Amino acid sequence: MLILDTSAPAEDATARIWAGPLAGDRPPFASVLDEALAPQQDYLSDTERALYQQGKRIRPAVLLLAARMVLGSAPLPGKVLQGAVSLEMLHVATLIHDDVIDGSALRRGLPSVNAARGMETAVLVGDLQFVQAIRGFVRTVDRDRDMALIELVLDTAFQIGCGELDELRTDLNQEPARLIEHYWRTADRKTAVLFGLAAEAGVTLAGGRTGDARRAGFAGRRLGRALQVMDDLFDLAQDEADSGKPRGMDLLRRRASLPLVYAMEELGPDHRVTRVMRGEPLAAGELERCVAQVRATTGFARAYADARTQALEAIELLRPFPASAYRYALEDLALHVVDRRP
């Protein structure tokens, strides 16, 4: 049985990046973010502002690091900073909508937007973030090549919506092999595609070659896949005090996370965990026991191995880029995703 050590969080790689190679980019990024949020001030509450203030900003960090792999330490063009801000706004929009779909009361240990302001307001506020994000990306266009990026942004937004719907439409009575295939397609659309956009947009906005932008995008998607699988594992492993939400929510909501699908495959159709995932109600106090049974399967370790493979593939895709602090920071981030403690 694989046991994830969820005690004493290690120093966060994203924080190191913002304090290290991106230290000079942090103030202008914050300034552009304030400008982007200004038109919404009458509609935002402290709840939404907290999402921007307390986030790790990993996606904009990926975009800025990818841009700096091309530009080095030269001043960043304004459109690169605008792209990073728009990416963060797109991410916040997905968080708000995720919580609406899940009916989550908490986000990072604080009340979610839907819990604080109601479902209707949360949907509209999430939509505002989406629209403002797209508006921001449109402002990055100053040459014909950038127009292809706008198409990529719109396709990414469409894929995210498809991923959310795919997750809701998962048929847990399918054979495990089909569920695993469905999981990866959903993870690609829900999570990985935004990391792919971050890395590809960074190289593109910095004036890098098309081939390099595509390669960076592939690396970003591998990083996003690894992050999604690790989030699946932490849902089963970390305490509520660390995560801000109860353990085992994916099982409670019958979400086909990778470790749960692997556990269903290993435990078989007659096991209590499988029956619960396929619709049988949980008895009072039974959730923790089912979580422990899932963690005892080899599927838990198998999912972690998949996450690590994705992270290592991301690093290999970055190897052709010139050696620099920025490439090394992206590689460190990929390893941190699978080595981190919550």
pLDDT at site 11: 47
pLDDT at site 319: 97
pLDDT at site 98: 83
| The model's pTM | 0.92
> Can you read off the two tokens belonging to residue 63?
């975009």
Taking only the tens of pLDDT, the chain with its 342 residues reads: 343 343 334 348 899 999 999 999 999 999 999 999 999 999 998 888 988 988 899 999 999 999 999 999 999 999 999 999 999 999 999 988 888 887 787 777 778 888 888 889 888 988 999 889 998 988 887 776 677 888 899 999 999 999 989 988 899 999 989 999 999 999 999 999 999 999 999 999 999 999 999 999 999 999 999 999 999 999 999 776 555 567 899 999 999 999 999 999 999 999 999 999 999 999 988 999 999 999 999 999 999 999 999 999 999 999 999 999 999 999 999 999 999 765
Residue 341 covered by a domain = no
Residue 153 covered by a domain = yes
Considering only CA atoms, which of 266, 232, 341 is closest in space to residue 12?
341
Does residue 189 contact residue 170 with C-beta atoms inside 8 Å? no
Residue 3 covered by a domain = no
Q: In 252-276, which positions are buried (b, 16+ CB within 10 angstroms) versus exposed (e)? A: eeebbbbbbbbbbbbbeeebebbeb
Residue 342 covered by a domain = no
> Can you read off the two tokens belonging to residue 313?
């593939």
Residue 265 covered by a domain = yes
Cα–Cα distances in Å, from 103 out to 137, 246, 301?
30, 13, 29
Which domain range does residue 308 map to? 13-331
| Domains contained in the chain, number | 1
Residue 336 covered by a domain = no
pLDDT at site 97: 86
Residue 95 covered by a domain = yes
Q: Specify the CATH number for the domain of residue 65.
A: 1.10.600.10
Cα–Cα distances in Å, from 93 out to 103, 132, 182?
15, 10, 24
DSSP string, 41-80: TTT--HHHHHHHHHS--HHHHHHHHHHHHHHTTSPPPHHH
Residue 339 covered by a domain = no
- Which residues are registered as beta bridge partners of 106? 111
What are the backbone dihedrals phi and psi of residue 222, each rounded to the nearest 5 degrees, phi first?
-65, -40
> Can you read off the two tokens belonging to residue 54?
């307390």
Query: DSSP label at 94?
Result: H
What are the backbone dihedrals phi and psi of residue 265, each rounded to the nearest 5 degrees, phi first?
-65, -40
pLDDT at site 115: 87
pLDDT at site 68: 98
The continuous run of DSSP H or E covering 110 comes out as strand 110-111
